[in-house]
C-alpha cells in the first residue's frame, strides 16, 4: 500500500461514489475499485458499505480517513519543501471573525516580516468551519475564540477575551450599569449565527435559566450586529475587542449582568498529527504578541 492508495481512498470518501472519484482523479473506475479493495485486503477491514449503489463509510474507514488525510498532507508538504527549496512556501491560516477583525493583521505582518520565501493564505469563518478545515487538512493552523472539544486538535491559549452585553442609546438599558439575567426575558437580540464561538458561549450562559429571547437578527457579520444595536434594533453580545471605539464615543453602552462574567480563550489550534515545521513554530510564537494569559 502506498500514498496513491490513500489519495484514492480520501477522494472516494469525499465524493461518496467511485465513479465521481475516478472522474476527479482522471483515472478509470476499475482502478479506483482495485485500490480500495487492496487497502481492505491489506488491513482485513471494510472501508465502505455498499447499499443501493451508495457508499457509506464504516467506522474502520473513518479511523483510516483521519490518519490518511494527515499522512497525505505531510507527504505533500514534504514534497513541496524539498522540491521548492529556496522558493515560496505557503502557510494556510484560518481565523474566526473576531480574530480576523481585531488581531490577525498585526500577527500576519509580524510573521511575514523578513520572510520573503513564505506566503500566507487566509480564511475567515466561524469556529465550526475553521475546526472542520483543520481536521480535513485544508488549513495548517487556526486562531479561534470558540470552544474546541475535538481531541485531535491541539489548543494553545493566547488571549483571554471578555464578552459584553451591549445596547444603543435608544434602548431602555442604555442608562443602566447592571441588570439581572432574568431582565433579558423577551428582549430583542441581534445574534451571531449558530456555529460561531460568540453564539455558543452566550447560549451556554442562558441555558437552563428560563430566559426566552427574541432572536430578531442572526448575522455572521459583527459590523452589522454593531450597527443594528446602535440603531435600536435590539441588544447584542460581542467581544470587547470589537466595540472599543463605539463605547468611547457613546454609540454603544456595556451593561453588566449580575453574577455573570463571560470570558473565553482565544487559541491557536492545529491538528495533533500536523508536522510542526520551523515556519509554523514561528507563526505560533508570533501569535502570542497580544497574550494576556
Cβ burial 257-275 (10 Å sphere, 16+ → b, else e): beeeebebbbbbbbbeebe
Domain CATH code at residue 70: 1.10.10.10
- Listing DSSP states for 270-293 in one string gives EETTS---HHHHHHHHHGGGG---
Residue 63 belongs to some domain of the structure: yes
Q: By CB neighbour count within 10 A (0-12 exposed, 13-18 middle, 19+ buried), where does 91 fall?
A: buried
Distance CA 6, CA 8 (A): 5
CB 122 within 8 A of CB 95: yes
Confirm if 127 and 96 have CB atoms less than 8 A apart.
yes
pLDDT at 84: 64
Residues 139 and 284 in one domain: yes
- End position of a domain, from candidates 81, 97, 122: 81
- pTM value is 0.73
Q: End of a domain among 30, 62, 81?
A: 81
The per-residue pLDDT string of the chain (293 residues; one tens digit each, 9 = 90 and over) reads: 899 999 999 999 999 999 999 999 999 999 999 999 999 999 999 999 988 778 999 999 999 998 999 899 888 878 877 776 556 688 999 999 899 999 999 999 999 987 777 889 999 999 999 999 999 889 999 999 878 989 999 999 999 999 999 999 999 999 999 999 999 999 999 999 988 878 888 888 888 888 899 999 999 899 999 999 999 999 999 999 999 999 999 999 999 999 998 999 999 999 998 888 888 999 999 999 888 87
Q: Which domain holds residue 28?
A: 3-81
Same structural domain for residues 154 and 197?
no
* Element of type H or E holding 54: strand 54-57
Quote the pLDDT of residue 85.
59
* Look-up of cell digits 447499499: 51
For the chain, the C-alpha Rg in angstroms (whole number) is: 23
In a domain, 293, yes or no: no
19 and 57, same domain (yes or no): yes
Please provide the distance, in angstroms rounded to a whole number, between the alpha carbons at the two ends of the chain: 46
Question: Are 31 and 148 in the same domain?
Answer: no
Q: What is the pLDDT of residue 65?
A: 93
If we measure between CA atoms, which residue out of 193, 186, 234, 177 comes closest to residue 210?
A: 186
Q: How many independent structural domains does the chain possess?
A: 3
Q: Is residue 243 part of a domain?
A: yes
Pairing relationship of beta strands 235-239 and 252-257 according to DSSP bridges: unpaired
Which pLDDT score, from 0 to 100, does residue 86 have?
Answer: 56
Distance CA 56, CA 64 (A): 14
Amino acid at each position: 500500500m502506498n500514498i496513491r492508495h490513500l489519495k484514492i481512498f480520501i477522494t472516494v470518501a469525499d465524493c461518496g461514489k467511485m465513479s465521481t472519484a475516478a472522474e476527479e482523479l482522471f483515472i478509470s473506475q476499475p482502478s479506483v475499485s482495485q485500490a480500495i479493495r487492496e487497502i481492505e485486503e491489506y488491513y482485513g477491514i471494510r472501508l465502505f458499505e455498499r447499499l443501493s449503489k451508495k457508499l457509506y463509510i464504516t467506522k474502520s474507514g473513518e479511523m483510516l480517513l483521519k490518519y490518511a488525510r494527515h499522512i497525505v498532507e505531510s507527504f505533500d508538504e514534504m514534497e513541496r519543501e524539498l522540491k521548492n527549496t529556496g522558493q515560496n512556501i505557503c502557510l494556510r491560516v484560518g481565523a474566526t471573525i473576531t480574530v480576523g477583525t481585531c488581531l490577525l493583521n498585526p500577527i500576519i505582518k509580524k510573521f511575514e516580516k523578513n520572510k520573503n520565501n513564505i506566503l500566507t493564505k487566509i480564511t475567515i469563518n466561524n469556529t465550526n468551519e475553521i475546526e472542520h478545515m483543520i481536521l480535513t487538512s485544508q488549513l495548517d493552523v487556526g486562531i479561534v475564540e470558540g470552544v474546541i472539544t475535538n481531541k485531535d486538535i491541539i489548543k494553545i491559549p493566547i488571549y483571554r477575551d471578555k464578552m459584553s452585553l451591549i445596547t444603543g442609546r435608544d434602548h431602555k438599558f442604555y442608562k443602566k450599569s447592571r441588570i439581572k439575567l432574568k431582565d433579558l426575558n423577551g428582549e430583542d437580540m441581534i445574534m451571531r449565527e449558530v456555529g460561531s464561538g460568540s453564539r455558543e458561549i452566550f447560549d451556554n450562559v442562558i441555558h437552563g435559566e428560563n430566559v426566552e429571547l427574541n432572536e430578531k437578527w442572526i448575522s455572521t457579520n459583527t459590523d452589522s450586529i454593531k450597527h443594528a444595536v446602535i440603531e435600536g434594533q435590539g441588544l447584542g453580545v460581542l467581544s470587547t475587542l470589537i466595540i472599543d471605539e463605539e463605547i468611547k464615543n457613546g454609540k454603544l453602552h456595556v451593561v453588566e449582568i449580575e453574577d455573570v462574567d463571560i470570558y473565553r480563550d482565544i487559541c491557536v489550534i492545529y491538528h495533533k498529527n500536523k508536522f510542526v515545521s520551523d515556519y509554523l513554530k514561528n507563526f505560533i510564537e508570533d501569535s502570542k504578541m497580544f497574550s494576556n494569559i
